């Protein structure tokens, strides 16, 4: 049998390689296929064979459904067909025992859900795991459009017949070969896996697909799983179609023992390199008809009564025309016989009773079924149910098989079992046993070789798991070499010992299982016997405990005393409720309203409730009674008795709480004093804790006519130190004559200061109790029913209000330029969120590391502070924002203490904060036609850079660089664009661009965007959602306009600008579309980029020195609502003429908009090519791109040394200079990283 089954598995495995997804949407009527939709709108995932080994029974596995539409999909029904008789006998018509579809009532648009496939019922008549398959049908419709779907899937299951030395067991069947054509369609694959051995640190290596293990517990932090022995899990993967791929998923662990491959498993199993499982997932894109069924060997006795139903599903994307069907045994095809028996082997025949497949055309996603029985009394062997069909690929044909092993019933061996004894109602310290007798009922003198060396297995099907104190304590089935001869029997004993936990009823999921094999005509057949072993535990005989029991209450007549009684549920697994006390006939005994938590309690095991008894006798009395306590245990009435001793005496002592006073020693001058009298919740003592204490004095007075002696305060009723108090007891040891008093002082203590300074606290406490003796008696009395003098409360009420509520928020930092230096700038908001009426101040001081100099906090964003610390004093409700500055040359520790906080008084509280990483930029440098660039990421202050380069044009000199929305543009006889790859468009909300890391990135393919003219200047900006490029034609008044998308210019138009003094020099597009150009030393407004008009000179622009503008004119740029104009540097008579002034104004489309000046900036022998600037917290920070020779200063520039210059009042402050770029055609451009502030994105 082993060789035969292996050969079949190889054959089927070869067929499986050509198969595709086991599911696609279609419709059918009365079980017959009809040529309806081939849509993938409803996609049922694929699933491998479900393991039915004894240890694996009870496992569940997800079968995924996908809604590939944009509507909500309603799942109308999920039903099973072709279910084996042995299984249908167990479940009847209840398909929910095969699967649970409750989580798939509706599927959201482009969403998914899972049907939980169950294995517990997939057994033979004798209770062992079966081999076979059944069909599953899913009907659904779209909630809005009402379009309906009808989809089939085939579910296979297999008993792997494992031994203890094997490791991992699974069978992918055809589940891992799919045919998902559309990239918008999703698909999922589930491979059930049984782990016989325990594995640690199991890693899922999923290749290009994502994959995970379900049911193996949560993964560790490193993504690995620790899997217990005899575990069932599911390997799942979900992917989209539209791609041809073959992907391998493996599981590896540190398990080093050799792993033996299961004979029936089609996947490989390796121990080398700790690999324990490998699965190949294939998606084919050729549409074709592909008929398949679960690849597994079924078993059938030739008794002419046991039916087998085989389900075939067209898992392809084209209809399959069935050309022929029949049984095959290695020779020619044996036809089905139209309902009459056909000969298979000698006297063995097969009869088909139902056939919906032959001569039919099966649409994609539809299914058909063949049901047959076999008859014969001698032979056994194997055969295939074979289907031949056309695939739709030219003249291609295909075949698929279902393998059946048949055996003569006369040679059938059955293991029977009987159970004697009972494991139910087992008590603590008791052992109960059940003996299982197993018999070989063979009629052909055939012996059975028992598996597992004759040792039976105790298996819990589902939950709860098998208790540890249920075990096999005796067994003789392992004798005689574990061989059970025909007609013989063996027995094993199961013991349930001393359960400590109630089971709350009988548990029926425990099975005793013993299996074995016998040989019949060269084939190995597995048989087994399963015995049900019900058990239950009654571990506790006492339902509740009462504490105290007995209850003793003694009090002088005319006074009262209280006592709390606790009731605890001592019955494991039971619920107790309906608790009541019968006080009939008892005078002076009450249960005060609100003090009885038991009347409405529902107590689980060991949960408690409390009831307060009050005894207030009017006369002298002594009564010993049994108080009935009634309750329900799991709905059944029960009762217990509380013994009580009530005594009312003639004592004339009466101690009461006569006064409550408070004081606050050490209260700061001007600070508000406490309010309230502490007698009720509405008049609680309320105070602010400034490091001082509130002292509460409780005065006890004897208002009776006899003296109280031997007074002792009950220390366990004092408020504790943990509750915020220290106690001075002036009463214990005293004697109180008539009208004499003593006191107890409760003082709030400072260990709670850290809490009470910043949040409200309740320091309420119960009035302490006392014990005393009447001088005329020897009876000790308990006095625990004190109330406040006027508030009639048993509590002293105290509230501490928060004195200060500090808060410090450090905002996002950025880079700014001021006075020729580069700084990191952070806004820091300090606040005191306490009630302003309190007038309690916070003193802030905020030092910075000495390494950052100059540094510090200042009140503005426009001036570097002269001091390094902020010193603030904020009353309740006040806040202020300071600005933290430090130079970019500093690298502060992320754990540096930014600030400390002290409160009024001498109790400082310190706060520290991390410095967030600043926004950092990108630098591009051009020399000739070559571009080099570097960026620094947001990851740290180290500013480590990543460099990249590109070439724009075959020769020449680049005259302008511009960055816009993830693309860099270069001007060199043409406009070239190149993508900046490795950038993340989601970093700042999805519409900005910033580096993902410092380790990846490049300039992508360089593409020319203009033709037919020579460009001399480029401007790009976005207005009303469309990005435009304005390209100046060299030595001309022509302006070329394009729309820009993903770096590509399109929709070209050309306008000849009028009213200019000469040719166009530079151009700029405002954020609202305003078009600015320069000509010689003039600035013009020429309408908008979408409606170009005659140009009008901007008359409000101040004049520049003529020597500066005579040769090269002006450069204009716009950014975030501003227009910026600077003169181009040129060599004038007598040498270099430095730029001393530039101007900026609001971009409002007016020729008279007022300009502001930026002065005193030099860049020698360099010409402006472009200007870029951004607004950081309202401050304008221009950056100038230039070319030509300039002097470079290494300090105080950024550590990455980008080649850029800030606009500043001096030229880079001081520092050692060196000639950095001497090539007159060299060019440098700095692009500030996008910054988002108040919803506005600045580039």
H, E, C per residue of 1115-1158: EEEEECCEEEEEECCCEECCEECCCCEEEEEECCCCCCCCEEEE
Mark whether 532 and 562 lie in a shared domain. Answer: no
Rounded CA-CA distance 177/192 in Å is 16
Mark whether 34 and 157 lie in a shared domain. Answer: yes
Answer whether the bond into residue 21 is a cis peptide, omega within 30°.
no
Q: Within 10 Å of residue 920's Cβ, how many Cβ atoms?
A: 26
Q: CB under 8 Å to 268, separation ≥6 — which residues? A: 261, 278
Asked if residues 66 and 188 have their Cβ atoms less than 8 Å apart, the reply is yes
User: What torsion do the CA atoms of 989, 990, 994, 1000 make, to the nearest 10 degrees?
Assistant: 130
The two counts, helices (H) then strands (E), for the chain are 4, 104
- Regarding predicted confidence, which is higher, 945 or 582? 582
Task: Name the CA radius of gyration of the chain, rounded.
Answer: 45
Which secondary-structure segment (H or E) carries 16? helix 2-17
Asked if residues 71 and 82 have their Cβ atoms less than 8 Å apart, the reply is no
Q: How would residue 119 be classed by pLDDT, with cut points 50, 70 and 90? A: very high
What is the average pLDDT across 691-703? 87
- Residue 1040 token pair: 């070329």
Question: By residue range, what is the domain housing residue 92?
Answer: 2-283
Rounded CA-CA distance 64/93 in Å is 24
Number of domains in the chain: 8
What is the average pLDDT across 863-880? 74
Instruction: Give the pLDDT confidence score for residue 1146 in this predicted structure.
Output: 87
Mark whether 693 and 777 lie in a shared domain. Answer: yes
Mark whether 1021 and 1128 lie in a shared domain. Answer: yes
- 235-244, 761-770, 868-877, range with the lowest pLDDT: 868-877
Three-state DSSP class for residue 1011: coil
Q: Is the pLDDT of residue 556 over 90?
A: no
Question: Of 409, 439, 456, which closes a domain?
Answer: 409
Q: How far from each other are the two terminal CA atoms of the chain, in whole angstroms?
A: 75
pLDDT digits (tens, 9 = 90+) for 1166-1193: 444 444 433 332 333 344 443 333 333 2
- Residue 1143 token pair: 């101007």
SS3 content of the chain, % helix, strand, coil (to 5): 5, 50, 45
Mark whether 773 and 820 lie in a shared domain. Answer: no
Rounded CA-CA distance 931/894 in Å is 35
The conformation of residue 1106, written as its DSSP 8-state character, comes to H
What is the average pLDDT across 289-293? 79
pLDDT digits (tens, 9 = 90+) for 471-515: 999 999 999 999 998 889 999 999 988 777 878 888 988 889 998
Burial class of residue 168 (count of CB atoms within 10 Å of its CB; 0-12, 13-18, 19+): buried
Mark whether 956 and 881 lie in a shared domain. Answer: no
pLDDT digits (tens, 9 = 90+) for 22-31: 333 333 333 3
Q: CB under 8 Å to 15, separation ≥6 — which residues? A: 174, 292, 295, 399, 400, 401
Q: CB under 8 Å to 492, separation ≥6 — which residues? A: 435, 436, 438, 456, 472, 474, 475, 476, 477, 512, 514
Mark whether 852 and 891 lie in a shared domain. Answer: yes
- What strand order describes the sheet that includes 320-328? 297-301, 397-407, 381-390, 320-328, 361-362
Burial class of residue 315 (count of CB atoms within 10 Å of its CB; 0-12, 13-18, 19+): buried
Question: Of 283, 307, 338, which closes a domain?
Answer: 283
Mark whether 830 and 979 lie in a shared domain. Answer: no
What is the average pLDDT across 196-220? 87
- Regarding predicted confidence, which is higher, 1211 or 1141? 1141
Mark whether 1031 and 978 lie in a shared domain. Answer: no
Rounded CA-CA distance 334/343 in Å is 8
Mark whether 617 and 746 lie in a shared domain. Answer: no
Rounded CA-CA distance 1202/1231 in Å is 10
Instruction: Give the pLDDT confidence score for residue 732 in this predicted structure.
Output: 94
Our measurement of the distance from residue 516's CA atom to the centroid of its chain's CA atoms, rounded to an integer in Å, reads 46
Q: Is the pLDDT of residue 664 over 90?
A: no
What is the average pLDDT across 646-655? 85
Instruction: Mark 317-333 as b/e (b = at least 16 C-beta within 10 Å).
Output: bbbbbbeebbbeeeeee
Report the CATH number at residue 85: 2.60.40.10
Question: Of 409, 433, 448, which closes a domain?
Answer: 409
pTM: 0.39
Rounded CA-CA distance 1184/1230 in Å is 8
Q: Percent of the chain, pLDDT > 90?
A: 27
Q: Which of 73, 108, 314, 287 is nearest to 180 (CA)?
A: 287
Mark whether 101 and 186 lie in a shared domain. Answer: yes
Longest Cα–Cα distance of the chain, Å, equals 125
Most confident of the ranges 99-108, 713-722, 800-809: 99-108
Mark whether 370 and 354 lie in a shared domain. Answer: yes
Rounded CA-CA distance 48/182 in Å is 23
Asked if residues 1021 and 1049 have their Cβ atoms less than 8 Å apart, the reply is no
Rounded CA-CA distance 1222/385 in Å is 86
Q: Is the pLDDT of residue 561 over 80?
A: yes
Q: Which of 962, 963, 934 is nearest to 946 (CA)?
A: 934
Ranges assigned E (strand) in 498-620: 510-520, 523-532, 535-538, 544-547, 551-556, 561-569, 576-581, 589-590, 602-603, 608-615
Three-state DSSP class for residue 1034: coil
Per the listing, tokens 């999923």 go with 206
Q: CB under 8 Å to 997, separation ≥6 — which residues? A: 937, 939, 946, 982
Determine phi and psi for 11, rounding to 5 degrees. Answer: -60, -45
Q: Which of 1036, 1058, 1115, 1054 is nearest to 1082 (CA)?
A: 1115
């Amino acid at each position: 049998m082993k060789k035969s089954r292996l050969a079949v598995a190889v054959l089927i495995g070869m067929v499986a390689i050509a198969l595709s997804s086991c599911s696609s949407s279609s419709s059918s009527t009365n079980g017959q296929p009809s040529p309806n939709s081939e849509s993938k709108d409803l996609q049922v995932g694929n699933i491998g064979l479900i393991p039915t080994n004894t240890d694996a029974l009870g496992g569940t596995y997800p079968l995924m459904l996908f809604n590939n539409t944009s509507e909500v999909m309603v799942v109308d029904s999920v039903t099973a067909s072709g279910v084996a008789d042995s299984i249908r006998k167990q479940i009847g018509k209840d398909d929910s025992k095969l699967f649970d579809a409750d989580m798939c009532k509706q599927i959201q648009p482009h969403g998914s859900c899972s049907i939980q496939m169950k294995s517990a019922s997939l057994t033979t008549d004798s209770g062992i795991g079966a081999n076979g398959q059944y069909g599953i049908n899913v009907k659904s419709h779209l909630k809005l459009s009402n379009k309906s779907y009808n989809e089939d899937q085939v579910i296979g299951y297999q008993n792997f017949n494992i031994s203890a030395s094997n490791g991992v067991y699974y069978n992918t069947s055809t589940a891992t070969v799919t045919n998902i054509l559309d990239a918008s369609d999703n698909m999922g694959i589930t491979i059930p896996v049984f782990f016989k051995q325990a594995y640690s640190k199991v890693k899922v290596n999923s290749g290009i697909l994502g994959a995970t293990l379900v049911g193996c517990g949560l993964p560790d932090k490193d993504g690995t799983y620790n899997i217990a022995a005899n575990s069932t899990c599911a390997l799942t993967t979900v992917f989209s179609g539209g791609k041809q791929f073959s992907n391998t998923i493996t599981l590896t662990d540190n398990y080093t023992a050799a792993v033996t491959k299961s004979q029936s498993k089609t996947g490989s199993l390796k121990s080398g390199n700790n690999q324990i499982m490998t699965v190949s997932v294939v998606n084919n894109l050729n549409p074709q008809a592909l008929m398949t069924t679960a690849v597994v060997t079924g078993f059938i006795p030739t008794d002419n009564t046991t039916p087998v139903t085989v389900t075939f599903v067209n898992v392809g994307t084209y209809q399959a025309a069935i050309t022929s069907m029949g049984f095959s045994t290695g020779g020619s095809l044996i036809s089905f016989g139209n309902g009459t028996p056909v000969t298979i082997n000698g006297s063995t025949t097969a009869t088909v009773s139902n056939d919906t497949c032959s001569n039919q055309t099966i649409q994609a996603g539809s299914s058909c079924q063949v049901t047959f029985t076999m008859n014969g009394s001698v032979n056994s062997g194997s055969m295939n149910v074979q289907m031949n069909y056309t695939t739709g690929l030219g003249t291609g044909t295909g075949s698929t098989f279902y393998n059946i092993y048949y055996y003569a019933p006369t040679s059938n061996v059955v293991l029977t079992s009987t159970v004697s004894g009972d494991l139910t109602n087992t008590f603590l310290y008791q052992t109960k046993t059940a003996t299982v007798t197993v018999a070989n009922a063979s009629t052909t003198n055939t012996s059975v070789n028992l598996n597992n060396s004759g040792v039976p297995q105790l298996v819990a099907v589902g939950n709860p798991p098998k208790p540890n104190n249920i075990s096999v304590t005796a067994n003789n089935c392992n004798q005689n070499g574990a061989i059970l001869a025909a007609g013989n029997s063996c027995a094993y004993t199961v013991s349930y010992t001393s359960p400590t936990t109630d089971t709350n009823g009988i548990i029926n999921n425990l099975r005793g299982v013993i299996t074995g094999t016998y040989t019949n005509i060269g084939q190995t057949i597995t048989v087994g016997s399963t015995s049900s072993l019900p058990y239950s535990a009654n571990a506790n005989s006492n339902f509740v405990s009462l504490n105290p029991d007995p209850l003793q209450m003694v009090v002088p007549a005319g006074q009262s005393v209280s006592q709390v009684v606790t009731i605890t549920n001592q019955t494991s697994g039971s619920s107790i409720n309906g608790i009541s006390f019968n006080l009939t006939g008892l005078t002076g005994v009450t249960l005060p309203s609100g003090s009885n938590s038991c009347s409405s309690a529902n107590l689980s095991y060991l949960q408690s409730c409390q009831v307060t008894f009050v005894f207030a006798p009017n006369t002298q009395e002594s009564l010993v009674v049994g108080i009935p306590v009634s309750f329900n245990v799991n709905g059944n009435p029960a009762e217990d008795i509380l013994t009580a001793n009530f005594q009312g005496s003639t004592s004339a002592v009466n101690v009461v709480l006569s006064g409550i006073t408070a004081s606050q020693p050490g209260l700061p001058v001007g600070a508000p004093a406490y309010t309230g009298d502490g007698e009720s919740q509405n008049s609680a003592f309320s105070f602010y804790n400034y490091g001082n204490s509130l002292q509460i004095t409780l005065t006890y007075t004897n208002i009776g006519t006899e003296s109280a002696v031997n007074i002792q305060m009950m220390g366990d009723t004092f408020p504790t130190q943990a509750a915020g108090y220290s106690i001075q007891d002036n009463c214990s040891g005293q004697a109180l004559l008539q009208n004499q008093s003593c006191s107890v002082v409760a003082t709030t203590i400072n260990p709670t200061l850290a809490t009470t300074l910043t949040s409200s606290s309740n320091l309420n406490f119960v009035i302490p109790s006392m014990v005393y003796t009447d001088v005329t008696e020897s009876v000790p009395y308990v006095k625990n029913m004190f109330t406040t003098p006027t508030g009639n409360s048993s509590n002293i009420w105290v509230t501490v209000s928060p004195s200060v509520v500090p808060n410090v928020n450090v905002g996002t930092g950025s880079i700014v330029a001021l006075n020729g230096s580069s700084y990191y700038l952070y806004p820091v908001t300090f606040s005191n969120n306490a009630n302003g009426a309190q007038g309690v101040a916070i003193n802030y001081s905020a030092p910075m590391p000495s390494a950052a100099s100059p540094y510090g906090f200042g009140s503005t964003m426009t001036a570097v502070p002269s001091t390094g610390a902020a010193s603030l004093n904020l009353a309740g409700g006040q806040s202020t924002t300071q600005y933290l500055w430090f130079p970019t040359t500093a690298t502060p520790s992320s754990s540096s203490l930014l600030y400390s906080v002290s409160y009024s008084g001498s109790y400082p509280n310190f706060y520290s904060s991390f410095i967030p990483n600043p926004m950092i930029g990108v630098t591009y440098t051009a020399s000739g036609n070559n571009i080099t660039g570097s960026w620094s990421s947001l990851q740290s202050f180290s500013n480590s850079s990543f460099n990249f380069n590109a070439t724009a044009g075959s020769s020449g000199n680049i005259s302008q660089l511009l960055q816009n929305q993830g693309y860099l543009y270069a001007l060199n006889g043409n406009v070239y664009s190149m993508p900046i790859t490795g950038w993340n468009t989601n970093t700042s909300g999805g519409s900005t661009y910033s580096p993902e890391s410092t380790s990846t990135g490049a300039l992508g393919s360089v593409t020319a965007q203009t033709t037919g003219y020579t460009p001399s200047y480029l401007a790009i900006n976005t207005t009303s959602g469309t990005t435009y490029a304005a390209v100046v034609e060299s030595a001309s008044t022509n302006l070329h306009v394009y729309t820009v998308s993903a770096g590509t210019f399109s929709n070209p138009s050309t306008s000849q600008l009028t009213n200019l003094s000469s040719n166009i020099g530079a151009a700029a597009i405002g954020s609202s579309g305003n078009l600015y150009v320069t000509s010689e030393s003039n600035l013009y407004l020429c309408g908008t980029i979408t409606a170009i008009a005659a140009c009008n000179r901007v008359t409000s622009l101040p004049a520049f020195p003529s020597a500066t503008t005579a040769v090269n004119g002006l450069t204009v740029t716009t950014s975030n609502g501003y227009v910026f104009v600077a003169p181009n540097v040129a060599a004038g008579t007598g040498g270099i003429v430095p730029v001393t002034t530039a101007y900026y104004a609001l971009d409002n489309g007016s020729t008279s908009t007022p300009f502001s000046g930026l002065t005193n900036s030099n860049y020698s022998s360099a010409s402006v090519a472009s200007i870029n600037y951004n607004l950081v917290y309202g401050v304008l920070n221009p950056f100038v791109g230039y070319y030509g020779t300039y002097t470079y200063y290494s300090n105080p520039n950024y550590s990455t040394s980008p080649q850029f210059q800030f606009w500043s009042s001096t030229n880079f402050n001081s520092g050692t200079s060196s000639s950095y770029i001497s090539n007159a055609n060299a060019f440098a451009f700095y692009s500030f990283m996008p910054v988002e502030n108040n919803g506005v994105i600045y580039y």
